[in-house]
Structure 1
């Protein structure tokens, strides 16, 4: 759907409207991911390092909960990132039985590169594919999208 094409779904048809939003947001996320494909990280690895950058050090269990994956899956993700030198394990400051996973400088640089590539792609797309009025419309929708993303549903 081009920016000038009106939505095909009636906003009052909630299942259809939700399906259209889901499809469009998925396409947008895939386009942004494609702009940073050179990072050679899997989607789960990119998500884990981005969360560590955003939220700081965490236990493997905390990362698994935050990413909605099994702890075993997160352990494999963390092991792969550790092998690349992107994360390291450090002692937990208050619980000697646990380890915290934190980004290394190399990991931080990798995340910065991924995010910069995505932002550069989106900046270019916003500037070349949308006019000022269309950008203003998107800006008006941002608070609603933030609310949906935050889960402020009740």
Structure 2
């Protein structure tokens, strides 16, 4: 964590943002890669974990709703759901009113995997934050708000 941050294209006052955009993109992807590596199940793909996380945050979904949420095709989502179901992370629940409709939800085991992965990822960030100065932590706290603003546009 000895990278110098005081001479960054992100702080350049020129109106050419290409260098700043590239620097921010590379740093964001590098951190995202490091965070993705912190998972409870090494063999689970990012796409599979994204489905478990979506079910954790948003509750049960139909296959079509999950495919739309994750921006993949229904056949692709069906393969992912089948793999997750075989591993015991999710379950398919028939709709009582419409037998053709099936909801997909987490099992307790799936919820445990999500919780443990989130715990590991948070611990990774907490350890990194502990190595920074108070000013650096304050800068990152402000940057997190700005990054969320950029992501939400």
**TM-score for the superposition, normalised by structure 2:** 0.86
1:63-116 per-residue CA deviation (whole Å, 9 max, x = no partner) reads 111111111111111000000000001123665422111000000001111111
CA distance in 2, matches of 1:60, 1:14: 41
User: SS in structure 2 opposite 1:6?
Assistant: coil
**More helix as a share of residues:** 1
Equivalent pairs, count: 150
- C-alpha change, 1:5 and 1:90, in structure 2 (3 Å) is same
Q: 1:134 aligns with which of 127, 133, 136?
A: 136
Whether the aligned pair in 2 keeps the contact of 1:91 and 1:100 (CA below 8 Å) is yes
After TM superposition, the structure 1 = structure 2 runs for residues 134-153 of structure 1, keeping only pairs within 5 Å, are 134-151=136-153
Runs of at least 4 residues of structure 1 off by over 6 A?
none
Gaps of 5+ in 1: none
Residue matched to 2:8: 7
Question: In the superposition, relative to structure 1, how do residues 139 and 91 fare at CA in structure 2: closer, same or farther (>3 Å)?
Answer: same
Distance 1:18 1:92 in 2: 47
Q: Tell which structure's C-alpha radius of gyration is larger.
A: 2
> Are the equivalent residues in 2 in contact too, given 1:39–1:110 (CA < 8 A)?
no
Q: Distance in 1 between matches of 2:5 and 2:77?
A: 42
Structure 1 length as normaliser, TM-score?
Answer: 0.86
Is the contact between residue 94 and residue 102 of structure 2 (CA under 8 Å) also seen in structure 1?
Answer: yes
Q: Is the 8 A contact 1:85 1:104 kept in 2?
A: yes
Task: Name the Cα RMSD after superposition.
Answer: 2.1
